[in-house]
A and B are shown apart, each in its own frame.
Chain A
Amino acid sequence: MANLAKNYLASVIVAVIGFLFVFTYYFLAQPLNDWSQTLAQIISLISLFAVLPGAFLMIRRETSILTVRGPNWDRSVITLGSFLVFLIAGLTGLSSPIYLWLYNNVFVILSTAIFSLLAFYIMSAGYRTFRARSWEATVLLVVGLLTILGVVPFGASIWSGFPTITDWISKYPSTGTSRGITIGIALGTAGVIIRTIAGQGRLGRFIKGEE
């Protein structure tokens, strides 16, 4: 009996909740819609709790590196120090001057700077890859150039038709192909979910404890 519960309870829970979400997405049927809303909020709460083990594991890992003076132990000092400073500042309240100062002058600036580094890599990657080695690469090169000229004011000041061409490329060929890919991914995902809800497939067998 205990074995039966162990094997099937988890998959029954997955099946019931899965069907509830799928059903209430397409149909209005109270109180099922209310239940799915409440469950979605509970899922948000559970994912928030995932922060706690994450923080605990990070502290344990960095502390162990620090105590044995392992490789790059100085980076562990920075990681733990930053974590503690933001934690303490956060406890003073999200509107406290110290937290706002740290947020705006450290976190936002560093995040923006790291994202900006992409521009440098894109520049050298563009130089090395946009080359007319074959006719496919030539098409990519021409479309890439048209897109660049269409999105910056410099292109429009050379010829006003560049933005129109870029808009057309974005609206039709680009949207068409990306929607095709998205629909393919969605159908594949739906297949996996249906198999999981039915207790089949690798994930379904894992939930039942068979793998």
Chain B
Amino acid sequence: MNLQNKPRKKGLLNIDSRIIWLLLLFFVGIPLVRPIGIPIQVSPNTREFYEILTEQRGITIALALDTDPAGLAELGPQISAILKIARDYDLKVVMVGWNSNSGMFANTYLTEVFSDVWNSQYGINFVNLGYVPGMETGMKQFAEDIWSIEQDHYGTRLENLPMMEDIRTASDIDYLIECCWNLDYPNSIMRQFVAPGYTKMLAASTALVYPALLPFIGPDRPIKSAIKGMDGAAQLELVSNHPGLAIAGTDAQSLAHVLIIIFIAIGNLGLFFKREET
């Protein structure tokens, strides 16, 4: 029999994938257009993350944007929320990264948050040092001598950026926030920045990577605190009083997971009834 003409099995065990996909599209799309406001509980790690950033005005943070575009759906709202907190609390922000997309992403999010004060504050309160090549070797070099990169993402020499006058090595950075979508980068940051004692580390990760980071998170561990995925971004938006895209995104994410649970239940019911029949 030609496989193309083979009749499709029907029933609870064989729902057509296209129906599942269509339902998912609705479950994700509707809350994005009309948020339903599923309650968001702020986790202890997110609260700790926020308190670390806000306990002292004017500290220097570095945001390492080590992600590909695919990670931005979750990391983008986190980066925006962190930059808004930095602006509220006058934190000095150094954007950098060891992924070739870092400089471009930093430009996007800095523009989103600081566009109205760009001309007066670039180089004074925030800089975009862009992509540093060489992965772990590049990290080691950067930690020892930040000025070895010589110029920022836009080609401006570091001596023309007043803020960089006081930032010579990674020891001059209070917290390095690693925005990651895989484990290579945070592991290398722990080895090259935290283990030698240059600076303290926070992490902003996708929900996929977060479980692998958990053993490293804690006050006496390499990562002082971390936020997780879209959920973490929404929590950070909530505690910092900057509601944004992540809160609507969290509704969509929750509903998509409800749909997964419903379909898993349907599949198992189908299996149960099939066993009863046989």
Contacts and interface: CB of A to CB of B under 8 A. Distances in A.
A and B interact: yes
B20 A100 contact: no
B254 A152 contact: yes
A152 B28 CA distance: 14
B249 to A, nearest CB: 11
Which of A107, A128, A144 counts the most B-chain CB atoms under 10 A from its CB? A128
Contact of A115 (B24, B70, B255): B70
A163 B43 contact: yes
Interface stretch (B119-127, B161-169, B197-205, B263-271): B263-271
B259 interface: yes
A127 B267 CA distance: 6
B47 interface: no
Interface stretch (B34-42, B53-61, B79-87, B88-96): B34-42
Interface stretch (A60-68, A171-179, A194-202): A171-179
Interface string A132-164: 110000000100110011011111110010010
Q: Report, as a range, how many residues of chain A touch the other chain.
A: 35 or more
Interface in B251-278: 253-261, 263-264, 266-268, 271
Given A40-B137, A108-B69, A119 B256 contact: yes
Contact of B107 (A100, A107, A111, A153): A100
A189 interface: no
A135 to B, nearest CB: 14
Which of B17, B69, B137, B212 counts the most A-chain CB atoms under 10 A from its CB? B69
Contacts of A79: none
Contacts of B256: 119, 123
Given A151-B231, A163-B43, A175 B69 contact: no
B69 A111 contact: yes
Given A95-B154, A123-B20, A133-B271, A153 B250 contact: yes
Contacts of B110: none
A126 interface: yes
Nearest to B208: A151
Nearest to A115: B70
A91 to B, nearest CB: 15
A170 B211 contact: yes
Which of A128, A149, A152 counts the most B-chain CB atoms under 10 A from its CB? A152
A11 B15 CA distance: 58
Nearest to A120: B21
B68 interface: yes
A37 B140 contact: yes
A133 B272 CA distance: 9
16 contacts: A37-B137, A41-B137, A100-B104, A108-B72, A111-B70, A120-B20, A123-B259, A124-B20, A127-B260, A127-B264, A148-B257, A151-B229, A152-B257, A154-B255, A157-B41, A175-B214
Interface of B: 15, 17, 20-21, 24, 28, 38-41, 43, 68-70, 72-73, 103-104, 107-108, 133-135, 137-138, 140-141, 153-155, 207, 210-212, 214-215, 228-229, 231, 234, 250, 253-261, 263-264, 266-268, 271
Interface of A: 37, 40-41, 44, 94-95, 100, 103-104, 107-108, 111-112, 114-116, 119-120, 122-124, 126-128, 130-133, 141, 144-145, 148-149, 151-157, 160, 163, 166-167, 170-171, 174-175, 178
Given A131-B268, A132-B271, A141-B264, 20 more contacts: A41-B134, A104-B104, A108-B69, A111-B68, A112-B73, A119-B28, A123-B259, A127-B263, A127-B266, A128-B267, A130-B264, A144-B264, A148-B257, A148-B260, A151-B257, A152-B257, A154-B258, A167-B214, A170-B210, A174-B211
